[in-house]
Amino acid sequence: MQQLSVGLIGYGLGGSTFHAPIIATVPGLRLARIASRSAKSETRDRYPGVQLDETPQAMLNDPDIALVVVCTPNASHYALAKAALLAGKHVVVDKPFVLSSAEGRELVALAQRKGLQLSVYQNRRWDGDFLTLRRTLESDELGTIHTYRAHFDRYAPQVKVRWKEQAQPGAGVLWDLGSHLIDQALTLFGTPNAVTAHLSVQREGAQVEDAFELIMDHGATRVVLHAGALVRAPGPRYQVHGSHGSFVKYGIDSQEEALKQGQRPGGAGWGQDAPSDWATITTADGSRRTETIPGAYQEFYHGMVRAIAEGAPVPVRPEDAVDVVRVIELALRSHRERRTVQFTEGELDAG
Protein backbone atom coordinates (compact mmCIF):
# COMPACT_ATOMS: atom_id res chain seq x y z
CA MET A 1 0.00 0.00 0.00
CA GLN A 2 1.31 3.43 -0.92
CA GLN A 3 1.84 5.51 2.19
CA LEU A 4 0.53 9.02 2.61
CA SER A 5 2.98 11.36 4.33
CA VAL A 6 1.45 13.15 7.30
CA GLY A 7 2.48 16.42 8.90
CA LEU A 8 1.36 17.04 12.49
CA ILE A 9 1.11 20.62 13.75
CA GLY A 10 1.22 20.62 17.54
CA TYR A 11 2.77 18.08 19.89
CA GLY A 12 1.22 18.85 23.23
CA LEU A 13 -1.07 16.40 25.01
CA GLY A 14 -3.39 16.09 22.02
CA GLY A 15 -0.74 15.64 19.35
CA SER A 16 1.56 13.36 21.33
CA THR A 17 -1.20 11.23 22.87
CA PHE A 18 -4.24 11.19 20.59
CA HIS A 19 -2.78 11.65 17.12
CA ALA A 20 0.86 10.64 16.62
CA PRO A 21 0.61 7.13 18.18
CA ILE A 22 -2.52 6.33 16.20
CA ILE A 23 -1.22 7.69 12.91
CA ALA A 24 1.86 5.51 13.40
CA THR A 25 -0.26 2.35 13.61
CA VAL A 26 -2.48 2.90 10.55
CA PRO A 27 -1.37 1.25 7.31
CA GLY A 28 -1.23 3.80 4.53
CA LEU A 29 0.00 6.64 6.74
CA ARG A 30 3.54 7.73 7.59
CA LEU A 31 4.20 10.41 10.19
CA ALA A 32 6.80 12.47 8.33
CA ARG A 33 6.96 15.90 10.00
CA ILE A 34 6.01 17.40 13.35
CA ALA A 35 5.87 21.16 13.79
CA SER A 36 6.06 22.07 17.46
CA ARG A 37 8.34 23.93 19.84
CA SER A 38 7.60 21.30 22.51
CA ALA A 39 8.70 18.24 20.48
CA LYS A 40 12.00 16.91 21.83
CA SER A 41 14.77 14.97 20.11
CA GLU A 42 13.52 11.70 21.67
CA THR A 43 10.46 12.08 19.48
CA ARG A 44 12.68 10.91 16.62
CA ASP A 45 13.44 7.74 18.57
CA ARG A 46 9.74 7.08 18.94
CA TYR A 47 9.01 7.91 15.31
CA PRO A 48 12.12 7.13 13.26
CA GLY A 49 12.61 9.40 10.28
CA VAL A 50 10.30 12.16 11.48
CA GLN A 51 11.41 15.70 10.73
CA LEU A 52 11.01 18.18 13.60
CA ASP A 53 10.16 21.76 12.64
CA GLU A 54 9.89 24.90 14.73
CA THR A 55 7.06 26.26 12.56
CA PRO A 56 4.53 24.71 10.13
CA GLN A 57 5.83 26.52 7.05
CA ALA A 58 8.32 23.87 5.94
CA MET A 59 5.60 21.27 6.22
CA LEU A 60 3.19 23.33 4.14
CA ASN A 61 5.90 23.84 1.50
CA ASP A 62 6.81 20.14 1.38
CA PRO A 63 5.23 18.58 -1.74
CA ASP A 64 5.48 15.11 -0.20
CA ILE A 65 3.11 15.94 2.66
CA ALA A 66 -0.40 14.84 1.66
CA LEU A 67 -2.24 15.25 4.97
CA VAL A 68 -1.82 17.95 7.61
CA VAL A 69 -3.21 17.39 11.11
CA VAL A 70 -3.87 20.53 13.16
CA CYS A 71 -3.68 19.88 16.91
CA THR A 72 -2.92 23.25 18.46
CA PRO A 73 -4.77 25.62 20.84
CA ASN A 74 -8.33 26.09 19.61
CA ALA A 75 -7.97 29.74 18.62
CA SER A 76 -5.34 28.81 16.00
CA HIS A 77 -7.32 26.05 14.25
CA TYR A 78 -8.92 28.27 11.62
CA ALA A 79 -5.76 30.01 10.41
CA LEU A 80 -3.67 26.84 10.30
CA ALA A 81 -6.34 24.75 8.57
CA LYS A 82 -6.87 27.49 6.00
CA ALA A 83 -3.15 27.76 5.33
CA ALA A 84 -2.90 23.99 4.87
CA LEU A 85 -5.84 23.89 2.45
CA LEU A 86 -4.40 26.79 0.47
CA ALA A 87 -1.14 24.83 0.29
CA GLY A 88 -3.03 21.96 -1.34
CA LYS A 89 -3.05 19.59 1.66
CA HIS A 90 -5.83 17.37 2.92
CA VAL A 91 -6.60 18.42 6.49
CA VAL A 92 -7.69 16.96 9.82
CA VAL A 93 -8.48 19.45 12.58
CA ASP A 94 -8.66 18.39 16.20
CA LYS A 95 -11.94 19.15 17.94
CA PRO A 96 -13.41 21.70 18.29
CA PHE A 97 -13.23 22.49 14.58
CA VAL A 98 -13.00 26.29 14.88
CA LEU A 99 -14.35 29.00 17.18
CA SER A 100 -17.18 30.25 14.98
CA SER A 101 -19.58 28.53 12.63
CA ALA A 102 -18.80 31.20 10.01
CA GLU A 103 -15.13 30.17 10.04
CA GLY A 104 -16.17 26.53 9.74
CA ARG A 105 -18.39 27.16 6.73
CA GLU A 106 -15.59 29.09 5.06
CA LEU A 107 -13.17 26.17 5.47
CA VAL A 108 -15.75 23.67 4.19
CA ALA A 109 -16.29 25.78 1.08
CA LEU A 110 -12.53 26.21 0.56
CA ALA A 111 -11.90 22.45 0.77
CA GLN A 112 -14.67 21.83 -1.74
CA ARG A 113 -13.25 24.40 -4.17
CA LYS A 114 -9.77 22.90 -3.87
CA GLY A 115 -11.01 19.31 -4.17
CA LEU A 116 -9.44 18.37 -0.83
CA GLN A 117 -10.58 16.19 2.05
CA LEU A 118 -11.35 17.98 5.31
CA SER A 119 -12.40 16.28 8.53
CA VAL A 120 -12.50 16.90 12.28
CA TYR A 121 -11.12 14.54 14.91
CA GLN A 122 -14.25 13.74 16.92
CA ASN A 123 -12.59 10.59 18.22
CA ARG A 124 -15.22 9.93 20.91
CA ARG A 125 -17.51 8.58 18.20
CA TRP A 126 -15.24 5.53 18.52
CA ASP A 127 -15.48 5.19 22.30
CA GLY A 128 -16.59 1.66 23.11
CA ASP A 129 -19.51 2.81 25.24
CA PHE A 130 -20.81 5.09 22.49
CA LEU A 131 -20.45 2.37 19.86
CA THR A 132 -22.44 0.04 22.12
CA LEU A 133 -25.14 2.65 22.75
CA ARG A 134 -25.39 3.46 19.05
CA ARG A 135 -25.84 -0.21 18.17
CA THR A 136 -28.52 -0.53 20.84
CA LEU A 137 -30.45 2.47 19.53
CA GLU A 138 -30.19 1.24 15.96
CA SER A 139 -31.71 -2.08 17.05
CA ASP A 140 -34.80 -0.17 18.27
CA GLU A 141 -34.79 -2.30 21.40
CA LEU A 142 -35.43 0.76 23.56
CA GLY A 143 -38.24 2.07 21.38
CA THR A 144 -38.78 5.82 20.96
CA ILE A 145 -36.17 7.67 23.01
CA HIS A 146 -37.57 10.35 25.30
CA THR A 147 -34.58 10.99 27.60
CA TYR A 148 -30.86 10.97 26.79
CA ARG A 149 -28.38 11.94 29.53
CA ALA A 150 -24.64 11.88 28.96
CA HIS A 151 -22.00 12.91 31.49
CA PHE A 152 -18.28 13.58 31.11
CA ASP A 153 -17.34 14.17 34.73
CA ARG A 154 -13.92 14.21 36.35
CA TYR A 155 -12.38 15.01 39.71
CA ALA A 156 -9.60 17.52 39.12
CA PRO A 157 -9.77 20.05 41.99
CA GLN A 158 -6.50 21.78 41.13
CA VAL A 159 -6.52 24.27 38.26
CA LYS A 160 -3.64 23.48 35.91
CA VAL A 161 -1.41 25.99 34.17
CA ARG A 162 -2.41 25.22 30.60
CA TRP A 163 -4.15 27.14 27.85
CA LYS A 164 -7.42 25.20 28.19
CA GLU A 165 -7.86 26.65 31.68
CA GLN A 166 -6.72 30.21 30.98
CA ALA A 167 -8.93 33.15 30.05
CA GLN A 168 -8.54 33.06 26.28
CA PRO A 169 -10.76 32.30 23.28
CA GLY A 170 -11.69 28.65 22.98
CA ALA A 171 -10.78 27.74 26.56
CA GLY A 172 -13.12 26.14 29.07
CA VAL A 173 -14.84 22.81 29.44
CA LEU A 174 -17.68 23.59 27.01
CA TRP A 175 -15.26 23.87 24.08
CA ASP A 176 -13.24 20.94 25.38
CA LEU A 177 -15.37 18.07 26.68
CA GLY A 178 -18.57 19.70 25.46
CA SER A 179 -17.44 19.23 21.86
CA HIS A 180 -17.43 15.47 22.42
CA LEU A 181 -20.79 15.28 24.17
CA ILE A 182 -22.49 17.53 21.62
CA ASP A 183 -21.06 15.64 18.64
CA GLN A 184 -22.23 12.32 20.03
CA ALA A 185 -25.75 13.65 20.61
CA LEU A 186 -25.94 15.21 17.14
CA THR A 187 -24.72 11.93 15.63
CA LEU A 188 -27.62 10.11 17.28
CA PHE A 189 -30.44 12.66 17.02
CA GLY A 190 -29.48 15.33 14.47
CA THR A 191 -29.63 19.07 15.05
CA PRO A 192 -31.90 20.26 17.88
CA ASN A 193 -34.84 22.63 17.84
CA ALA A 194 -33.45 24.70 20.71
CA VAL A 195 -30.57 24.92 23.20
CA THR A 196 -30.57 25.87 26.89
CA ALA A 197 -27.33 26.03 28.85
CA HIS A 198 -25.88 26.99 32.20
CA LEU A 199 -22.12 27.36 32.66
CA SER A 200 -20.41 27.64 36.03
CA VAL A 201 -17.01 28.15 37.64
CA GLN A 202 -16.71 25.69 40.52
CA ARG A 203 -13.03 25.51 41.45
CA GLU A 204 -11.14 28.13 43.37
CA GLY A 205 -8.82 30.02 41.05
CA ALA A 206 -10.52 28.87 37.84
CA GLN A 207 -10.43 31.52 35.08
CA VAL A 208 -12.97 29.88 32.76
CA GLU A 209 -16.02 27.68 33.18
CA ASP A 210 -15.22 24.20 34.45
CA ALA A 211 -18.76 22.80 34.53
CA PHE A 212 -21.88 23.02 32.41
CA GLU A 213 -25.31 21.58 31.86
CA LEU A 214 -26.68 21.80 28.35
CA ILE A 215 -30.19 20.80 27.28
CA MET A 216 -31.12 20.22 23.65
CA ASP A 217 -34.74 20.06 22.55
CA HIS A 218 -35.26 17.37 19.92
CA GLY A 219 -39.02 17.36 20.07
CA ALA A 220 -40.03 14.12 21.75
CA THR A 221 -36.43 13.57 22.86
CA ARG A 222 -34.80 15.60 25.62
CA VAL A 223 -31.00 15.57 25.55
CA VAL A 224 -29.15 16.58 28.72
CA LEU A 225 -25.36 16.91 28.63
CA HIS A 226 -23.22 17.53 31.69
CA ALA A 227 -19.55 17.96 32.50
CA GLY A 228 -17.83 18.92 35.73
CA ALA A 229 -14.38 18.94 37.33
CA LEU A 230 -15.45 18.33 40.93
CA VAL A 231 -17.19 14.98 40.67
CA ARG A 232 -15.37 12.58 42.99
CA ALA A 233 -17.97 9.81 42.61
CA PRO A 234 -19.22 9.85 39.00
CA GLY A 235 -22.71 8.59 38.24
CA PRO A 236 -23.70 6.86 35.01
CA ARG A 237 -21.88 7.88 31.83
CA TYR A 238 -25.11 7.36 29.87
CA GLN A 239 -28.73 7.10 30.95
CA VAL A 240 -31.01 6.59 27.97
CA HIS A 241 -34.71 5.87 28.39
CA GLY A 242 -37.21 4.94 25.72
CA SER A 243 -40.76 3.72 25.35
CA HIS A 244 -39.62 0.07 25.53
CA GLY A 245 -36.55 0.12 27.72
CA SER A 246 -33.53 1.78 29.31
CA PHE A 247 -29.77 1.75 28.76
CA VAL A 248 -27.50 2.67 31.70
CA LYS A 249 -23.70 2.64 31.43
CA TYR A 250 -21.01 3.45 34.00
CA GLY A 251 -17.29 3.94 33.44
CA ILE A 252 -15.19 5.72 30.84
CA ASP A 253 -13.61 4.39 27.66
CA SER A 254 -10.16 2.90 28.27
CA GLN A 255 -8.34 4.23 25.19
CA GLU A 256 -7.29 7.61 26.59
CA GLU A 257 -5.58 6.07 29.60
CA ALA A 258 -3.98 3.37 27.44
CA LEU A 259 -2.54 6.02 25.10
CA LYS A 260 -1.19 8.00 28.05
CA GLN A 261 0.57 4.82 29.21
CA GLY A 262 2.25 4.47 25.83
CA GLN A 263 0.06 1.72 24.40
CA ARG A 264 -1.09 1.74 20.79
CA PRO A 265 -4.08 0.32 18.90
CA GLY A 266 -3.62 -3.30 17.97
CA GLY A 267 -2.17 -4.35 21.29
CA ALA A 268 -3.74 -7.02 23.48
CA GLY A 269 -6.98 -5.84 25.02
CA TRP A 270 -7.02 -2.54 23.13
CA GLY A 271 -10.24 -0.61 23.68
CA GLN A 272 -11.82 -3.31 25.86
CA ASP A 273 -14.06 -2.46 28.80
CA ALA A 274 -14.09 -4.02 32.25
CA PRO A 275 -17.07 -6.40 32.59
CA SER A 276 -18.07 -4.52 35.75
CA ASP A 277 -18.70 -1.45 33.55
CA TRP A 278 -20.79 -3.17 30.88
CA ALA A 279 -24.11 -1.45 30.24
CA THR A 280 -27.38 -2.67 31.69
CA ILE A 281 -30.32 -2.87 29.30
CA THR A 282 -33.74 -3.15 30.92
CA THR A 283 -36.88 -4.06 28.97
CA ALA A 284 -40.14 -5.87 29.64
CA ASP A 285 -38.10 -9.10 29.55
CA GLY A 286 -35.97 -7.98 32.50
CA SER A 287 -32.43 -6.62 32.87
CA ARG A 288 -29.27 -7.94 31.29
CA ARG A 289 -25.66 -6.83 30.88
CA THR A 290 -24.35 -6.23 27.36
CA GLU A 291 -20.67 -6.51 26.50
CA THR A 292 -19.08 -3.24 25.42
CA ILE A 293 -17.92 -3.06 21.81
CA PRO A 294 -14.13 -2.42 21.88
CA GLY A 295 -13.22 1.21 21.34
CA ALA A 296 -11.38 2.01 18.12
CA TYR A 297 -9.90 5.49 17.70
CA GLN A 298 -7.76 4.13 14.87
CA GLU A 299 -10.88 3.82 12.71
CA PHE A 300 -10.90 7.59 12.23
CA TYR A 301 -7.53 7.50 10.47
CA HIS A 302 -8.40 4.34 8.55
CA GLY A 303 -11.33 6.38 7.25
CA MET A 304 -9.04 9.25 6.26
CA VAL A 305 -6.87 6.87 4.23
CA ARG A 306 -9.93 5.63 2.36
CA ALA A 307 -11.18 9.17 1.82
CA ILE A 308 -7.88 10.38 0.35
CA ALA A 309 -6.92 7.26 -1.58
CA GLU A 310 -10.35 6.12 -2.78
CA GLY A 311 -12.61 9.15 -2.53
CA ALA A 312 -14.73 7.57 0.22
CA PRO A 313 -16.61 9.87 2.61
CA VAL A 314 -14.47 11.34 5.39
CA PRO A 315 -15.02 9.71 8.81
CA VAL A 316 -16.45 12.94 10.26
CA ARG A 317 -18.16 15.38 7.92
CA PRO A 318 -16.89 18.94 8.48
CA GLU A 319 -20.50 20.11 8.18
CA ASP A 320 -21.27 18.04 11.29
CA ALA A 321 -18.42 19.76 13.09
CA VAL A 322 -19.86 23.15 12.10
CA ASP A 323 -23.13 22.12 13.76
CA VAL A 324 -21.20 21.30 16.95
CA VAL A 325 -19.74 24.80 16.92
CA ARG A 326 -23.19 26.28 16.32
CA VAL A 327 -24.56 24.48 19.36
CA ILE A 328 -21.67 25.84 21.45
CA GLU A 329 -22.34 29.35 20.16
CA LEU A 330 -26.01 29.03 21.09
CA ALA A 331 -25.14 27.55 24.49
CA LEU A 332 -22.91 30.53 25.25
CA ARG A 333 -25.71 32.88 24.23
CA SER A 334 -28.24 30.94 26.27
CA HIS A 335 -26.08 31.25 29.37
CA ARG A 336 -25.33 34.92 28.75
CA GLU A 337 -28.95 35.90 28.07
CA ARG A 338 -30.47 33.39 30.52
CA ARG A 339 -32.95 31.99 28.01
CA THR A 340 -33.60 29.13 25.65
CA VAL A 341 -32.21 29.86 22.18
CA GLN A 342 -33.77 28.45 19.02
CA PHE A 343 -31.36 26.63 16.70
CA THR A 344 -32.58 28.74 13.79
CA GLU A 345 -31.22 31.82 15.55
CA GLY A 346 -27.78 30.55 14.64
CA GLU A 347 -28.86 30.41 11.00
CA LEU A 348 -30.07 34.00 11.20
CA ASP A 349 -26.74 35.07 12.68
CA ALA A 350 -25.01 33.43 9.73
CA GLY A 351 -26.84 35.89 7.51
* CA-atom Rg of the chain in angstroms: 20
Domain range list for the chain:
4-122+299-313, 124-296+329-335
- In this prediction, residues 49-74 reach a mean pLDDT of 96
d(CA 80, CA 320): 20
Q: Is the pTM of this model over 0.75?
A: yes
Read off the pLDDT of residues 316-344 as tens digits, 9 standing for 90 and up: 999 999 999 999 999 999 999 999 999 99
CB atoms closer than 10 angstroms to residue 100 = 18
Ordered strands of the 65-70 beta sheet: 51-53, 29-35, 4-9, 65-70, 90-94, 118-121
For 196-250, the pLDDT digits (tens) are: 999 999 999 999 999 999 999 999 999 999 999 999 999 999 999 999 999 999 9
Q: Quick one: pLDDT at residue 38?
A: 79
Neighbouring-strand partners of residue 341:
195
Q: How far apart are CA 350 and CA 332, in angstroms?
A: 16
Q: Looking at the predicted structure, is the pLDDT value of residue 1 above 50?
A: yes
Strands (E), the chain: 4-9, 29-35, 51-53, 65-70, 90-94, 118-121, 145-153, 194-200, 211-218, 221-228, 238-242, 245-249, 279-283, 286-290, 341-342
Give residue-wise pLDDT tens across range 93-117: 999 999 999 999 999 999 999 999 9
**CATH class of the domain at 4-122+299-313:** alpha beta
Tens-digit pLDDT profile for residues 135-158: 999 999 999 999 999 999 999 999
Structure confidence at residue 290 (pLDDT): 98
**Residue of 105, 70, 72, 104 whose CA lies nearest to 87:** 70
Average pLDDT over residues 1-27: 94
- pLDDT exceeding 70 applies to what percent of the chain? 98
pLDDT at 251 > cutoff 70: yes
- For 277-308, how does the pLDDT look when each residue is reduced to its tens digit (9 = 90+)? 999 999 999 999 999 999 999 999 999 999 99
In CATH, the number for domain 124-296+329-335 is: 3.30.360.10
Looking at every residue in the chain, the average pLDDT score rounds to 95
Instruction: Report the pLDDT value the prediction gives residue 43, as an integer from 0 to 100.
Output: 87
What is the pLDDT, as a whole number, of residue 351?
41
